[in-house]
Structure 1
Amino acid sequence: MSQDGVIFRRFESGDADDVWHLHRSASEAVGVRGPEGTWEDDLRNVGEVYIASGGDFVVAHIGPQLAAMGGLKPVDNDVAQLKRLRVDPAFQRRGLGRRILSELESRAVSLGFKWIKLDTTKSQVGAQRVYETAGYTRCAEGMLHGHPVIFYEKRLAGPD
């Protein structure tokens, strides 16, 4: 446990409902929550989609409360896609997004990935700032699920 009471650990099956609720509430808070759809199926099967596939999914708790989360989904042997980085609106602006991003990057290096790719909506200026200050480079723009998005990538430090 860290000095501020935040515990980072791998997703466990008992986290499923909390992960779903954090995804929906955090998405709503930034104005990107749409109707439930197949684009969210990964969150109904985190163990298989993220962990069993060779990636990872991290949750951060403060006491009993799920405060933040994020996943790494393998694209190929060298590239992981960062997905579902969420911070509970009640815990935002405390550096948790940066901390869980750093935790996921460390796990990506230990899993042998050389690159992380991700996307975020154009409206999520706070998320863009987190990624850009962490060394991510904008590489494209597009549309996903009806939202304008920015695509980012970062070369990870680590053995080649």
Structure 2
Amino acid sequence: MLAAFKRYEGDSVPSSALKETAATVKRELDEGTIIFSLTEQNEIVAVVKCKLEADILYFSRLSVLPSAQRKGLATQLVHYIEQYATNRHLKYVTCKVRKSENGNVRLYTGLGYQIVEEDINRGVPTVTIEKSMI
């Protein structure tokens, strides 16, 4: 059973939360990025980065440890950030996903997200997905 959702802002960046340097994560947090995580037995098992942009909540880097996959944790995180957006009266939740990540695209479209744009990002085909919160 999951222990809790946890929110990281400012100086509280656990090194296990993301495979990035502490300096890059700190810079993102200083620029308004919010990191939510799920824990099991006091261990972070899933994380997602979010950024508010006007009336949109943009999320990225949703990751679940391999040992914790296929338990619905990604879905729980998505529902949590959707509730976070709804509580702040934001209009949309959006994300960019590699087009080749069929499982991720299926997950998000299965949760009601629509593909609104296709693009090439640094040579990688991506899709932008979006869900209305209103």
SS of equivalent to 2:32: helix
RMSD: 2.2
Greater share of residues in helix:
1
Unaligned 5+ residue runs, structure 2?
Answer: none
Correspondence for 1:57? 35
1:94-105 pair list within 5 angstroms:
94-105=71-82
Q: Distance in 2 between matches of 1:95 and 1:7?
A: 14
* CA shift for structure 1 position 20: 2.1
- Structure 2 equivalent of residue 131 of structure 1: 108
Which consecutive aligned stretches of 4+ in structure 1 deviate over 6 angstroms post-superposition? none
Render the CA deviation track for 1:38-83: whole Å, top value 9, x for unaligned: xxx4x343432335xxxx421111113211111221221x112112
Consecutive unaligned residues in structure 1, runs of 5 or more: 25-35
Match of 1:115 in 2: 92
> In structure 1, how many angstroms separate the alpha carbons of the residues matched to 2:93 and 2:119?
18
What percent identity do the matched residue pairs reach?
22
Query: Retained in 2: the 8 A contact 1:72–1:108?
Result: no
The whole-number CA distance in structure 2 between the counterparts of 1:71 and 1:50 is: 10
Q: How many equivalent pairs are there?
A: 132
Which residue pairs with 2:64 in the alignment?
87
- Amino acid across the alignment from 1:116: V
Match of 1:16 among 14, 31, 34: 14
Partner SS for 1:139: strand
More strand by share: 2
Contact 1:16 1:44 (C-alpha < 8 Å) held by counterparts = no
Partners of 1:135 and 1:86 in 2: CA distance:
20
Q: Distance in 2 between matches of 1:6 and 1:46?
A: 26
- Counterpart of 1:89 in structure 2: which amino acid? P
- 1: distance between equivalents of 2:32 and 2:61? 11
Matched, 1:68 2:46: yes
TM-score (norm 1): 0.72
Q: Is the 8 A contact 1:20 1:44 kept in 2?
A: no
TM-score, L = length of structure 2: 0.85
Give the conservation status (yes or no) of the 8 Å contact 2:3–2:42.
no
Separation of aligned partners in 2, 1:112 and 1:99: 20
